[in-house]
Amino acid sequence: QQQVKQSPQSLIVQKGGISIINCAYENTAFDYFPWYQQFPGKGPALLIAIRPDVSEKKEGRFTISFNKSAKQFSLHIMDSQPGDSATYFCAAGAGKSTFGDGTTLTVKP
Amino acid sequence: GAVVSQHPSWVICKSGTSVKIECRSLDFQATTMFWYRQFPKQSLMLMATSNEGSKATYEQGVEKDKFLINHASLTLSTLTVTSAHPEDSSFYICSARDTLAGLYNEQFFGPGTRLTVL
């Protein structure tokens, strides 16, 4: 049973554009929703995280939008840059996170 | 941010041998560490939760006798792949949480260990 569904699987965006990745979760007990960035051959690194008591969190070019009633959250990358090209994972849960399947983002110069 | 290291970064071994992977939190204490396995172009799959001073908790379908986990101190957890076979070839990643930072704190990941079993 997949508890966190992530889409799209891959995404191509032009430099300067907005990248949007979506996730949906099933377990309403989840109370922590992080996004991770992973480059090839490296471990994931936390980008930004949100708790369900807020609907949006922004850190620099990265924004999480959270819809508790729909059990959905999304990552928006503004002014996407080639250096943002990586695989992005959403996750849910504070103690033991459940990961989405990942989205491979390619930002074309 | 805090740093988690893994050693070795890559290892090649013969089928039937055992391989030990170390995970260290360099500048913080971690009572809990997590071990993941990641196949190419796939997500991270949690294998087990490593608890300092007690037995690890394994996820369903993960053989505890094959993947031995020891969390002997607040900064070190080890994963030993026993009697490795080619299907065990994967990217193994550990993560740790800062014990003193509370529940909703960042999970710091190690750089991963690429295991290839010939």
Give backbone dihedrals phi and psi of A96, rounded to 5 degrees, phi first.
Answer: -130, 100
What is the structure's pLDDT at A1?
Answer: 52
Q: List all residues of chain B from 12 to 71 with a beta carbon under 8 Å from chain A.
A: 32, 34, 41-44, 46, 49
pLDDT in the model for residue B1: 66
Looking up tokens 């076979």 gives B85
Residues of chain B with Cβ-Cβ distance to A42 below 8 Å are 111-112
Q: Which of B28, B76, B26 lies closest to B51 in space, CA to CA? A: B76
Interface touch B114/A46, C-beta < 8 Å: no
Q: Any idea which residue has 């607040």 for tokens?
A: B74
Q: Is B86 exposed, middle or buried (0-12, 13-18, 19+ CB in 10 A)?
A: exposed
Q: Please tell me whether residue B86 adopts helix, strand or coil conformation.
A: helix
H-state helical runs in chain A: none
pLDDT values of chain A reduced to their tens digit, one per residue, 109 residues: 568 999 999 999 999 999 999 999 998 888 899 999 999 999 999 999 999 899 999 999 999 999 999 999 999 999 999 999 999 999 998 778 899 999 999 999 9
pLDDT of A2 reads: 60
Q: What does the pLDDT read at residue B42?
A: 92
CA distance B50 to A83: 34
> How far is CA B8 from each of CA B29, B39, B90, B114, rounded to the nearest angstrom?
21, 18, 13, 8
Kindly state the tokens that stand for B118.
């010939």
What are the structure tokens assigned to B65, written together? 């006798």
Q: Which residues neighbour B63 within 8 Å (Cβ) at sequence distance 6 or greater?
A: none
Residue B104 is predicted with a pLDDT of 62
Mean pLDDT of each 10-residue bin along chain B, 118 residues long: 91 97 92 92 92 89 94 92 96 88 76 97
- Of residues A41, A89, A94, nearest to B44 (C-beta): A89
How far is CA A49 from each of CA A73, A93, A101, B74, B106, rounded to the nearest angstrom? 11, 11, 17, 25, 9
Pairing of strands A10-14, A103-108: parallel
What are residue A108's DSSP bridge partners?
A: A14
Question: pLDDT (tens digit, 9 = 90+) per residue, B44-75?
Answer: 999 999 888 888 999 999 999 999 999 989 99
Q: Is A44 in Cβ contact with B109 (below 8 Å)?
A: yes
What is the model's pLDDT at position A14? Answer: 98
